[in-house]
Structure 1
């Protein structure tokens, strides 16, 4: 019995690889009950909650790469209606470049790349996939920024450009401040 418990523990509690140690500050369970804000010219501004988990994962031995598991679940603060879920993976390569790949139940998959600095991760869209019957305007560009303010608070800002807004650059789409949850 002790051997099985040790075996299970060793499979689920991986240590971060040397490259992914640059993301140590973002690993954990983060939650916002109502601090999320949605902004966009074609939708009413609204408040949302979100649960964000970025967790250690075992090394993928076949590729010799460790991806961290990424999940986010968002809901309307006022109605408690479910907004969307995102699942994916994040990693850092030997040169310090970060990659985030996500797939969501809103019909989008994204491939984002960027750079990690002290308590900050900035990612930009490299590719996006979408289901053919999605009702959203085509996203043409996206920038996602994570900032760890202190031991308790993490902020995420998503800026984007669609086929109609803006013509150049980005517009802020969402901003949420999370509180670190006890494990």
Structure 2
């Protein structure tokens, strides 16, 4: 995808955020703390035994969306775009939806331009959400090692800073548990 198309998509999402006037459902009010546009120019770090440690930038947008009347569920729009801090090369995009069920459990569904789709579920607490992988799909010709498990944690430190930590297990590392793969601290963008 060209940079112009990516920029247009980001502008489109920002316009949707600005002009979408919806109320959060009672369940999704638990996610109010994470809604907005968050950006990190260079605080993202990639760690993995088979990859050199590197720095990246990322923009995360979580936006309110209207209630899907056909299923009577409100999903929030979720998008993340990452790039190399040093070369500005595009790394990957994730697009998806997030919602909270009546029991307080969050569900995040994503599709990425790296050939992966994920279905993650977890608990929402004030200013913190921990999601674990329930299912993953991938295109058959992806070059990445198969991801076996994943844990994604969001922590809002204050009104200005949000942290995301992704830990995972692949077919080769580690044999049990998780290894930290990425960590990024975002700054909330002004409306």
TM-score (norm 1): 0.94
Partner of 1:90: 98
- How many residue pairs match? The answer is 175
Write the mapping of 1:95-174 to structure 2, written as runs, cut at 5 A.
95-174=103-182
Segments of 5+ residues of structure 2 without an aligned counterpart are 1-15
What's the offset of the Cα at 1:48? 0.1
For residues 177 and 145 of structure 1, what CA distance do their matches in structure 2 show? 12
Write the mapping of 1:16-35 to structure 2, written as runs, cut at 5 A.
16-35=24-43
What's the offset of the Cα at 1:119? 0.3
For residues 136 and 50 of structure 2, what CA distance do their matches in structure 1 show? 21
For residues 126 and 104 of structure 2, what CA distance do their matches in structure 1 show? 12
Q: CA RMSD in A?
A: 1.3
Runs of 4+ in 1 over 6 A off after TM superposition: none
TM-score (norm 2): 0.90
SS at match of 2:151: strand
For residues 145 and 70 of structure 2, what CA distance do their matches in structure 1 show? 38
What's the offset of the Cα at 1:118? 1.1
Partner of 1:14: 22
Higher gyration radius (CA): 1
For residues 67 and 29 of structure 2, what CA distance do their matches in structure 1 show? 13
